[in-house]
Amino acid sequence: MPIRIHSSNRVEKLQQSLCHRLSTRPLSSPLTSEIILVPTFAMSRWLNLRVAQHQGVAANIEYLLPAAWLWQVASQIIDGVPSQDPLAQQAMAWKIFAILPTVIDEAEFTDLNQYLFDDENGIKRWQLSIRIAELFDRYQQYRPQMIREWSSAQLSGWQATLWQKLIQDLHGIHRVAILSQLIDSLNGTNPGSKAPQRISLFAISSLPPLTIEVLLALSQHVDITFYQHSPTDQYFADLKSTRSLSRLGLSHPDEIEYYDTGNELLASWGRQAQTMQTLLLEQDNQPKQEIEDNYPPGITTLLQSIQQNIFDLGTTPINTHADDSIAIHICHSAMRECQVLHDQLLKILADNRQLGVEDILVMVPEISRYAPYIEAVFGYEDNAGKPYLPWNLSDISIIDEHPLVQSFLQLLHLPSSRFEISEIISLLEIAEIRKHFELDDAAVSDIQQWIDASRVRWGIDGSFKLAMGQPATIQNTWIQARQRLFTGYALGEDGLWNGIAALKHIDTGAALNISKFFDLFDRLDYWRNQLQRSAQVETWIVLLNRMLSDFYTVVDPAEDHLQEVRDCIDTLNLADNCSITSSLLRHWMEMQLGKQRRQG
């Protein structure tokens, strides 16, 4: 059956066409999942909302990224293929991490050996493993022929050798081999019920050639529709930017007259779409049904005029009259940017009654930097005297989302901590820690008051200071604070007892709260020693989960951020049989938690 390519310059029109097809041509069984491939999770959330608005409900729809879906469909159609890619990027990085020490002394790995010669804690080896895994992952997508030659030992070099070591125990189960086998299988036989009934690809601007080959082979048996967002209804794959033309003029001056720039924005920013357009259109042997649903933007406003110029490949004059369709605000701080944004959104909503807050997307290059200012400006306050705009942060890392995660990373840094008073007291701000140690607001207030009175500054005791390169005195350390506080409670008055300056007026309630605090402190000291080791990954998983249970108790099951940390710890299972240092563990946890995004 032919592949359908439904293109439009308006993503809303593509969404309407998709919804119309889903509602008018349902799948054979309501229990069968609808499969829609999307470029990002943010796009899937927007699309799911629109499907729900159009149909009244959006259920049993799987929104998948193309790479994850490819392996899923291969495991369904080909017998013996595991459900998870054994060379997914994170798993491959750990395998490379384990292989490197076994090959690093070979002659072809001399450059890598020199790079890693001073790597005592394994962090450089892990960073190198990640970079190599990213590279091998791209090779599998965009250089499949090179991967085939590496796998059959037709090429040499350290990368080829490392790849061969990587796959020697996988029995040919890697992405290029499996997808090639999938293509051959689809071209030869009908997969029947093993294949999905329908696949929709929505607003995907770039796909690797091997993925397109799989889709073309699958289209012989499956209903496949591309919903392609294109800024113009014309062929623009041969447009070149001014910079590209300048380089071409230097290397091949006789060819420069065959190319055009069109609209400079389209030529420079539309290269992915150009490649995608070329890959789809050059498949002459594959039947295609092309549907175009384009709407010229017009030239009423400045923004529309620019869009129309892109739509016409630069032949329409751009309206240069300034209006508020494009506005640039120069602000002196991030806080002020958010305040101006809030005011501008109120104005836009007041001027356009048909517009709702769900129709507004604010894009920020570094959302973690702006998150506290957004909350301060857009947050709801009873007596603020300003209209409230519902808002939601998307694509924010779980580290930036909740202080509990940051406190967990702080615990991982206990071996290098100076145990400064501000660092230790800050842990009492975490509700889950307070609940675990049965400390309410009054107890925390008591603790802060008496800890301040004890004049503690940093350090556990004299030996701790000595290890830090300082004189082994107990002045202003936590051991001295403990002595002064409990001596004052025991004596009931101030004065000296065995050289200890007691703190007076500590009643029974305060003493109980202080003892709970030092229970917390003793656990910090215990885990400071526990985390100073190298251990197998299995040991670290047990230790980290035990550390969570030693410090945290869930406050609100509906917002269990501890589970997010546990999930991250569980991914250490990918590092099968690896021994890692505590320094590498901290580095890995920070990177992993910083990479994980809450899909809001």
**Is 349 exposed, middle or buried, given 0-12, 13-18 or 19+ CB atoms closer than 10 A?**
middle
The whole-number pLDDT of residue 206 equals 87
Give the number of other Cβ atoms within 10 Å of residue 94's Cβ. 24
Q: What is the distance between the alpha carbons of residues 500 and 483, in angstroms, rounded to a whole number?
A: 7
Tell me, what's the pLDDT at 241?
60
Q: How far is CA 131 from the centre of its chain?
A: 17
Q: DSSP code of 504? A: P
CA distance 256 to 251: 10
- Of 54-63, 229-238, 482-491, least confident by mean pLDDT is 229-238
Which position has the higher pLDDT, 486 or 128? 128
Tell me the mean pLDDT in the region 82-91: 91
Per-residue pLDDT band at 526 (split at 50, 70, 90) = very high
Long-range contacts of 580-584 (CB under 8 A, 24+ apart): 580/122, 580/534, 580/535, 580/537, 580/540, 581/121, 581/122, 581/534, 582/412, 582/415, 582/531, 582/532, 582/533, 582/534, 583/121, 583/122, 583/123, 584/121, 584/122, 584/123, 584/126
Is residue 3 predicted with pLDDT exceeding 90? Answer: no
Task: Quickly count: other Cβ atoms within 10 Å of residue 55's Cβ.
Answer: 13
Instruction: Tally Cβ neighbours within 10 Å of residue 331.
Output: 12
Q: Which residues, other chains included, contact 350 with Cβ-Cβ below 8 Å and sequence gap of 6+?
A: none
Percent pLDDT > 70 in the chain is 92
Question: Which long-range CB contacts under 8 A does 556-564 form with residues at least 24 apart?
Answer: 561/398, 561/401, 561/402, 561/404, 561/405, 561/432, 562/404, 562/432, 564/398, 564/405, 564/593, 564/596
What long-range pairs does 80-88 form, CB within 8 A, spacing at least 24?
81/173, 81/178, 82/173, 85/175, 86/170, 86/173, 86/174, 87/136, 87/137, 87/140, 87/166, 87/167, 87/170, 87/174, 87/175
Q: How wide is the angle at C-alpha 13 spanned by C-alphas 8 and 18, nearest 5°?
A: 105
Question: Could you tell me which residue, 210 or 264, shows the higher pLDDT?
Answer: 210
Per the model's pLDDT, the better-predicted residue between 577 and 121 turns out to be: 121
Give the Cα separation of 93 and 319 in Å (integer).
Answer: 52
For residues 203 and 386, which has the higher predicted lDDT (pLDDT)? 203
Tokens of 86: 């054994």
Closest to 58 (Cα-Cα) out of 67, 49, 45: 49
Global pTM reads 0.85
> Dihedrals φ, ψ of 88, to 5°?
-60, 155
Q: How far apart are CA 166 and CA 153, in angstroms?
A: 13
Helices (H) and strands (E) in the chain, counts: 27, 12
Per-residue pLDDT, 245: 59
Strand (E) or helix (H) holding 224: strand 223-229
> Does position 261 have pLDDT exceeding 70, yes or no?
no
Tens of pLDDT, residues 414-470: 999 999 999 999 999 999 999 999 999 999 999 999 999 999 999 999 999 999 999
What was the pLDDT predicted at 169? 87
Rounded to an integer, the average pLDDT of 557-561 is 80
d(CA 600, CA 393) in angstroms, rounded, equals 6
| pLDDT at 189 > cutoff 70 | yes
Q: What is the pLDDT of residue 515?
A: 94
Tell me the pLDDT of the chain averaged across its residues: 88
Q: What is the pLDDT of residue 242?
A: 57
Q: Which residues of 499-538 are buried (b: 16+ CB within 10 A; e: fewer)?
A: eeebbeebeeebbebbebbbebbebbbebbebbeeebebe
Q: What is the pLDDT of residues 30-58, one digit of tens each?
A: 889 999 999 988 889 889 999 999 989 99
Summarize pLDDT for 297-311 with one digit per residue, the tens.
Answer: 988 899 999 899 888
* Residue 408 predicted with pLDDT over 90: yes
**pLDDT for position 150:** 94
In this predicted structure, what is the pLDDT of residue 595?
77
Q: At what angle do helices 209-218 and 271-281 cross, to 10 degrees?
A: 40
CA angle 86, 92, 97 (to 5 degrees): 140
- Predicted confidence at residue 582, as pLDDT, reads 94
pLDDT over 90, % of the chain: 56
Burial (CB < 10 A; 0-12, 13-18, 19+), residue 351, is exposed
pLDDT above 60: residue 134: yes
Alpha-carbon distances, residue 76 vs 69, 72, 80, 183, 480 (angstroms): 11, 6, 9, 14, 65
Q: Is the dihedral of CA 503, 508, 513, 518 positive or negative?
A: positive
**Mean pLDDT, rounded, for 209-230:** 91
233 Rama class: left (phi>0) / alpha (psi -120 to 50) / beta: alpha
pLDDT of residue 461: 94
Q: Residue for token digits 């799948």?
A: 27
Indicate if the pLDDT at residue 244 is higher than 80: no
The residue type of 332 is H
Per DSSP, the three-state class of 192 is helix
CB atoms within 10 A of CB 487: 20
d(CA 428, CA 430): 5
Q: Residue 285: pLDDT band by 50, 70, 90 thresholds?
A: low
Q: What is the pLDDT of residue 194?
A: 87
Q: How far is the C-alpha of 375 from the C-alpha of 396, rounded, in Å?
A: 13
